[in-house]
A and B are shown apart, each in its own frame.
Chain A
Amino acid sequence: MAYPEMMVKPMRDEVTQLGVTELRTVAAVDQALSDQHGTALVFVNSVCGCAAGGARPALAKALTAATKKPEHIYTVFAGQDLDATSRARSYFGEYQPSSPSAALLKDGEVVRFIHRHEIEGRSPDQIASELLKAFETYCA
C-alpha cells in the first residue's frame, strides 16, 4: 500500500537533493539501466525506519566522502513507485528484492549489493563505510 505522496516527498527529496536521479517510471528505468556501461548505483528507497535512520543518511555520508563515485546514481522508491521498482529489480539478476538496499552495477552486472539485513540496526557511518568500500573497489 502506497503512502500519501505528501508524506513521502521529504524522503524522496532527502535523496534527490544529493544529486541522485529518481526513476519513477518503467521507461525511465529502462533508459537508465538497459545497455548500461560503466558504474551505476541504484539506491532502493523505502519508508521504513532503517531507511530514515540508516540508509539515506549513509548514502549522503558516502557521497560526500567518496573520492571515487559511480558514474551514475539512481534511486527508485519501493512501495511507492511499484512498476519502476520492479523494473529496476529486473536488472539485479538473482539478487532478491530488498528495501532499503543499494545495488552497484558495472557494465550491467551487480558487483555489490547491500541488502536490508546489512542496513538494519547499523549506524549510518557503518553503512556508508560499506558503500565507500564498494566505490573504492569498483569505481574509477
Chain B
Amino acid sequence: MSGHVFHPGHDDLHGITVVVTGASGRSYLGRWHEQGNRGVVMKNVAIHDPASAELPLDGWLAKQAKFGIASTEKMYIVPPEEFTEVRLFAG
C-alpha cells in the first residue's frame, strides 16, 4: 500500500478491497469502509460460504481476482464476534 489515504478521517483500509475471515468459516470480499461498534462495514461484498460454495476458498478468490468481484451485497456489516482477521485482496 502507498499509505496515501484519499478520504481524511477514515482509516488506512478505507476504500481498499480486503478479505475478512469470519469465525463461522465464511469469508467476506469487498471494500473496507470502517470498523466500529457494529463491526466491520464493507461495501460491494461477495461472500464465500464453505457450506454452499461451488469452489474452495482459494479457487473462489482466484476467480474473483480474474473476473472481478461478483458482489451480492451493496453494504454488509460483519459483526464483531464474526470478525477474526483482515488481509488485502490484491496482496
A residues with a Cβ closer than 8 A to B are 48-50, 52-53, 94-98, 101, 113, 115-118, 120-123
Shortest CB distance B67–A (Å):
5
Docked Cα-Cα span, A48 to B71, in Å, equals 19
A118 and B90 within 8 A (CB): yes
With a CB–CB cut-off of 8 A, which chain A residues contact B7?
49
A117 and B6 within 8 A (CB): no
B68 and A115 within 8 A (CB): yes
Q: With contacts A49-B7, A53-B4, A53-B6 known, is A120 near B68, CB below 8 A?
A: no
CB within 8 A of B90: which of A53, A97, A113, A120? A120
With a CB–CB cut-off of 8 A, which chain B residues contact A120?
15-17, 90
Interface size on B, residues (CB 8 A): 18
With a CB–CB cut-off of 8 A, which chain A residues contact B88?
121
Which parts of B1-56 form the interface with A (CB within 8 Å)?
A: 1-2, 4, 6-7, 15-17
Chain B residue at minimum C-beta to C-beta distance from A51: B6
Docked Cα-Cα span, A108 to B11, in Å, equals 40
Shortest CB distance B47–A (Å):
15
A94 and B6 within 8 A (CB): no
With a CB–CB cut-off of 8 A, which chain B residues contact A52?
6
Docked Cα-Cα span, A98 to B70, in Å, equals 10
